[in-house]
Structure 1
Amino acid sequence: MDMMLLASFAFFYVTDNVLILVIWLGEGNWFIQEKCCKILTLVVSIRPKARDGHITTGEPSHSKSKISTLNDVLKGQLDWLSSQLKNPSHPTCSIPLAINCLSNLLREPSVRVSFVQADGVKLLVPLISPASNQQSIQDYFELPWSVWFIPQLLYETCLCIWLLSYYDPAVDYLATTRVMPRLVEVAKGSTKEKVVRVIVLTLRNLLPKPACGAQMIDLGLPQIIQSLKAQAWSDEDLLDALNQLEDGLKEHIKTLSSFDKYKQEVLLGHLDWYPMHKDPGFWRENITNFEENDFQVLRVLVTILDTSSDSTALAVACYDLSQFIQYHPAGRIIVSDLKAKDRVMKLMNHENTEVTKNALLCIQRLFLGAKYASFLQA
């Protein structure tokens, strides 16, 4: 740390006049923005911590104005960091600076909460990519090619995800994104020990989440772990983490229900004709699971009818809705309440015959009930 930065940090830490730094973040001068951001990160990182893990000002707990000031500072900085990830103000430095600061700030539990509430998690996912996909990411952010060959940027982005993996709402969000395939792909192809280590530690934290565990298995992670273990790593923590993740996956495979796999498939929108869709036993055994989280899976199926352009996904979604109607005692009422009828009827004019066939089946069961619809099919 250069002496000027250290002196500036000491001044603002002692005087507690950090709000002015947030104001300066809005200045057009990149040098000022960069130094202010680094000082703010130091201020938040080094502040005394309360027993509950929240950031305090070092003052008595009754000093609400100071606590409010720090919260305002934190919100202002997180807003600025998010804006740099969305629309970088510097062609090569904005994103590396933002990720570096976040990798320090997210060590604080309260910062994780604020970052998730600000919808910042989705900004990290596109940055996780193996070298083979760097061109597409460069085009996505419209940044110079050189930025994406900084291994430190990939490491710190993965570090942010690891820190967020200790916060359940962040994990819930990550489970619905493409972060898992990206992490696995990077781990499979990376030669950087620290990158592989932080990814393995992240996957270990995500494994207890049923949706994440199911996806890891579908991505072939058990085989990838075997390959990683065969490499000559010098980091004992990495080797321990690989063994723990391997053991966890073995246990998960034993207990993983087919509904967990199905739920993950639906939440990611990657519907295909896997055996469970047409397995009567699956529907009989798991029909009550569809009631979880206020019929979350069913609601996503209905959303897919509106948003997906994939013919297979549309056909499967229609079929699954018809299966729910058939096997759930109140299936017709529930699907009607979710306003699925109009969406399905539109698909009866779809150009793909598989879609129209399953849309017709769904409408028949919706109007006539499972018994009479099955009779018509026969």
Structure 2
Amino acid sequence: MLVVAMLASGCATFPDDGARDWRERAEGQGELGGPPALASPEPPPPEGSQPDQQPQGGSPSAPQPCVDPDPQVVATCLGPVGAVAVLPAGDEALVGERTTGRVLRVKKGSAPQLVTTVPVDPAAGLTGLVLSPGYAEDRLVYALAGTASDVQVLRLAPGEPPKPVLTGIPRGAGGALAVDPDGSLLVATGAGAGPLAGKVLRIDTLGRPAPGNPDPASPVLSSGLVAPGGLCVDPSTRTVWATDRTPTRDVLHRVVPGALGTPAWTWPDKPGVAGCTVLPGTLAVAERGAGALFVLRPGENGSFTGDPKPVLTGTYGALAAITLAPDGLIWLGTVNKDGGRPGATDDRVIRIQPPSGGAGSAA
């Protein structure tokens, strides 16, 4: 049985015409101090288990809690973290495990609570999780998940199983989910066969093409992605950013209607760009391969100012999910169990202060 943690009374109701299967017509310190020196990585315990301790006498002791000494770590011993959505209070978040599809509610000092399980194919996984634009009233959450046959946008409602609102997205490498300033859902899809592959889609919360798309009958906002890692929105400028991994380089796109143009930034060394988030005057990109945050400062006319640089390099290992909380702190999720070098408490969710710093090359 599912343990539902998103409790709400008086949830709003919405018209529901069913899922849309679209087809073309005919280094900073955290609030609790910096991270301590950690032991060398060790093989992790099985997912969902807790590490055992062996006394000197050789007989096993009772399982011990999975506790990380870093005061900035919120949750430990998770599966690879595919997405994080911070709840309005700022001290709790919903966390999506990429390969299991479990959605957990986490808070510092409390055991993670299972909210629901999204059906996923582990090879594709859960790659997006966002709060509804009207979360304060409806308590709805949206997820992006790859199944054995396609990629789907699903609605997660308290006390209900996940319900698809958009299906038929071709499977491809990568994927991301965001909410734009108008309250529409943005979906980044990987390259592949089909009219929705390699796109940024823009839909309403019922899966219909959002008003203002280039083609009013199509969910497609922009085209040209290969293996997207993240989508993020600057509410002050209404700019949408997308990270992408191409065969020759990693790139950052400023999303515009129609075809994506020249990247705004490139990484020839291909550090494995993943999620991104926008802070006042700063854009932070999680790097999976480099195990760092890359911090840029957007300027006028599409340029970047200062000296963009990586921070937190090697502190937590492979980073993928990143989001900004209402209180201004950054939440991160690691994917060390997914081809990285996991430590005894991986994978983890971390909460830090925004980095004060902030290399790649301009396009």
Q: The TM-score by the shorter chain falls in which range?
A: under 0.3
The higher relative CO (CA closer than 8 Å, separation ≥ 6) is in 2
Q: Which has the larger radius of gyration?
A: 1
